[in-house]
Amino acid sequence: MKEHHKKDQAQDQQKKGAKDQSKAAAAPAEGAGEKKLSNAELKKKAKEEKAARRAAAKVSQPQPPAGSAPGQAAEGAKGGKPKPKQQQDGPQAAGSQHGKAATPRSAAPMPAPKEAKPSVPECFSHLAMAKGVNLTQADKDVHPAVLMLGQQMSTMAISDSTTRLEATLLAFKKVIDSYTTPHGTTLSRHFTSHVLNPQIVYLTACRPMCFSMGNAIRWLKLQISKIDIDMADSDAKKLLCEAIDSFIHERITLADVVIVSTAADMISPDGGDVILTYAHHHLVERALLRARADGKRFRVILVDDPFERVGLAHAKTLAAAGIPVAYAPDLGALRTNLQEATTVLVAAEAMFSNGAMYARAGTCDVATAAFDLGMRVTALCETINFTERVSIDSLTYNEIDPERNTDEEFRLLFDTTRDKSISAVVTELGICSAKSVPAILRKLEEL
């Protein structure tokens, strides 16, 4: 695969996926008569119908109004359109693509909740947002595990990039498990376009994919395409599942262990270090707890995100581990807090290839203020989160908080920190500078 065109390719694949999707929707319709559906497919269908029934019952309760049709969601991943337009397109497009199972039920409850939702402010309408897909509107080919995952993602129950990646891969494993290659075709040719792509389209519609998911899905598709045509179905599935397992193990589980211990080692064993961190990230938390477990004495200043108090629980965990914690609920008096600290430890959601760090909104403010004071800013990030894309400001790639997307309440989830304010990036491959992200990406290609 030519890595330079990865991005375009990914988009192409997504678009292709969308097209295939409509084909896929049409295929079973004609196929139903001639070919008998396999057991797995029947079971899947039954499950799906059950899920759809449940969702239909739930519609009366306030639920994130179903956004877009799957076809559109593919491009919604990056640079989505203003919402109202999609809403108009929604029902027809969805209706046309849905199998017979979903359409009748979804028709009735749809229009009601839609009109009420005000639109995203004009100046930020280019940004992506997790729109959530009503279960009744999901494509019938979507596997139940993926259906559930999509709902968890759209409600931000699973929100950080690595956890999303892991959950996605595990769900895909289940998809692979329940897959049987139809007659007259092979896994490597059929699975990606007819089974995997609808899952991806659905997930993307629920919430725009994060960079790590894009990377992993590209990898997975490559693995699928490499499978020998003559290989038996069960062997191929086993091979794929093993590959996914080892991918998760290497790129996430082990990577986290290495990053955590490297970061913990960076804390001085003599004591006296004061570490300032922002909000909550599991890598930072684990690194701090690890350092404490190693017997290091240090203090933590935790600056929280004022509109999403994820830091409170973090502070509690640290305090329970015997680390003295100072908790600042917002960015007020940031300079004073920083002057007291010796180092800043944050975790990145992704790293762009120009060395910019994509992380929770507010991280950039902390990092620049620390840079002003000449402090060391360390970012923790698994290499799976590295992307070849380039971003120089925070409005190129960003996401709008799905719960606060109106004039009255508006919130961006991420911001982009330029490489100059980042002293070091800790990855599973070691400590590097932000500028060396493209070098690491090259290296990863060779592996």
Partner 1 sequence: MPSVSSGHALDLEKFLKSLKGQPLEASINSLISLLKRRQIKGSEPCAVATAHILLQVVARSKWHDVDSLLINVSRTGRKLVDAQPNELVIGNIVRRVLGLIRDEASEDRGDAGDESASDAPTPTDIVPPAATSQQWTTRRLDSANSAAPAARPPIVSSYSSINPPKSLFHLLSTSPPADGDVSPFRNSGASTPTWRGNSSQIHALRSEVIDGIEEIKDEISQVDDQIAASAEVQIHPGDLVLVHQPSTTVERFILRAAQKRKFTVLIAVAPPRRHSAEGQHATFRKKLSAAGITVVNVMNGGLMAYMSRVNKVIIGARAIVATGGVVADAGAAAIARAAKEQGTAVVVLSGVYKLSPESPFDESSLIEWGDSSTFVSFADGPLVSGAEIRTALTELIQPELVDTYITNLGTHSRDHLSSLISDHYKREDADFHIWEEAEP
Binding interface with partner 1 (CB under 8 A): 121-123, 302, 305-307, 309, 312, 315-316, 318-320, 324-337, 339, 361-366, 368-369, 372, 393-395, 398, 401, 404, 407-412, 414-417
Least separation in angstroms between CB 434 and partner 1: 16
Smaller CB separation from partner 1, 99 or 306? 306
Least separation in angstroms between CB 16 and partner 1: 33
Least separation in angstroms between CB 414 and partner 1: 7
Smaller CB separation from partner 1, 133 or 369? 369
Amino acid at 321: A
Smaller CB separation from partner 1, 6 or 418? 418
Least separation in angstroms between CB 212 and partner 1: 20
Smaller CB separation from partner 1, 227 or 302? 302
Residue that is written with structure tokens 């396999």 in the block: 38
Interhelix angle for 144-154 vs 197-206, to 10°?
20
Smaller CB separation from partner 1, 121 or 271? 121
Smaller CB separation from partner 1, 379 or 384? 379
Least separation in angstroms between CB 406 and partner 1: 8
Least separation in angstroms between CB 51 and partner 1: 33
Least separation in angstroms between CB 31 and partner 1: 48
Nearest of 40, 33, 21 to residue 203 by alpha carbon = 21
Smaller CB separation from partner 1, 197 or 398? 398
Count other C-beta atoms under 10 Å from residue 191's C-beta. 23
Give the C-alpha separation, 147 to 124, whole Å. Answer: 29
Structure tokens at 368: 């620049």
Give the C-alpha separation, 384 to 217, whole Å. Answer: 11
